[in-house]
Copies of this chain bind each other. A is one copy, B any other.
Amino acid sequence: MINQNIKIAVDAIVFGYEKNVLYVLAVQQKYGVFKDRWVLPGGFIKDDESLIDAVKRELQEEAGVGVNYLEQLSTFGDDVNRDSRGRIISVAYFALVNPQNFILKADTDAKDARWFPVNQLPVLGYDHNEMVKLAHARLKAKLTYQPIGFDLLDDEFLFSDLENLYCSILERDIDRRNFRKKILSFHILKETDKLVKTSSSGRPGKLFKFDKAKYDQLLEEDFQFEIKFA
């Protein structure tokens, strides 16, 4: 069989959201040319490991993170010199997590792991800023045609949390009444009877849950989640 001197790696763009800010996970390299440089979590694939398992393993090893949503984004291999160590092709994955579900801890290869606000990201190693840019665009687009915002929130959330998430990620104002009407019209939320208040003043709000089972069922009947904005 052909002889090839190319290595293959995976990298993950992991988004987290908290209090109106969208974060990206980065790790600080322990070794190599980019020692101390911030990069996306990732690494080489093992010979007998699926791509997706490789991503999950790296996230676990480098930052102690388990994801809510994970999908393949794109494969970076057009720039032959994207990695100075040699020809390396990387399959980038797009992930969503709730940062409150775990505590970041740098582990195997990483010296440190941190959340950076997506708008204040340092210069990362390799072509990782480009990957983040692409993933960010994907997130914005997907938010409007797939119910993935819930993967960034707690299991139970206030309507205003969801609304603020859309506002801050899409960077635009949204009419609260129209937004609520639209989302409720899908019937993919379960209303709990719990009332909570976040800040010290103001009327408490009802908690909602995303009804995944209902959503999956609706998908069978060509239901299309879609939100447009004024």
Contacts and interface: CB of A to CB of B under 8 A. Distances in A.
Contacts of A86: 1
A78 B52 CA distance: 7
Given A50-B80, A51-B75, A8 B8 contact: yes
Contacts of A85: 1
Interface of A: 1-2, 4-8, 44-45, 47-52, 72, 74-75, 77-80, 85-87, 89, 91
Number of copies: 2
A57 to B, nearest CB: 14
A87 B1 CA distance: 12
A91 B89 CA distance: 10
Given A1-B86, A2-B7, A52-B78, 6 more contacts: A5-B47, A6-B8, A45-B77, A51-B77, A75-B91, A77-B91
Contacts of A78: 50-52
Contacts of A4: 7-8, 44-45, 47
A87 B47 contact: yes
Contacts of A72: 74-75
Contact of A50 (B2, B7, B50, B79): B79
A45 B5 CA distance: 10
